[in-house]
């Protein structure tokens, strides 16, 4: 887990530092990070990149917030399950 945080941390810092506008690159990073967002450190990086992405593509950034909530937020899962049972 520590290695993933270090690697993605470098990616996020480079994207932000260079003011990268390549949506594919940003989304590739977010997609990869999402699997590790159970870690508070990775979640911090994910949020940072989502905030950065929001100024580039508000709808896409909002979608990535939803992806996180669907996958990791227990209160969101409870709400979703209410509709099933």
4 has a pLDDT exceeding 60: yes
Q: Is 27 helix (H, G, I), strand (E, B) or coil?
A: helix
Q: pLDDT digit string (tens) for 8-25?
A: 999 999 999 999 999 999
The answer to whether residue 85 scores a pLDDT higher than 60 is no
Please tell me the pTM assigned to this model. Answer: 0.86
Angle (CA) 52-24-3 rounded to 5° is 70
For the chain, the domains span: 2-82
Encode pLDDT of 23-76 as tens digits: 999 999 999 999 999 999 999 999 999 999 999 999 999 999 999 999 998 775
């Amino acid at each position: 887990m520590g290695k993933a945080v270090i690697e993605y941390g470098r990616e996020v810092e480079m994207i932000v530092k260079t003011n990268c506008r390549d949506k594919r690159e940003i989304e590739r990073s977010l997609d990869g990070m999402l699997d590790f967002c159970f870690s508070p450190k990775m979640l911090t990086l994910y949020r940072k990149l989502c905030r950065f992405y929001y100024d580039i593509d508000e709808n896409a950034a909002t979608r990535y917030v939803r992806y996180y909530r669907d996958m990791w937020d227990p209160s969101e899962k409870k709400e979703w399950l209410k509709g099933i049972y």
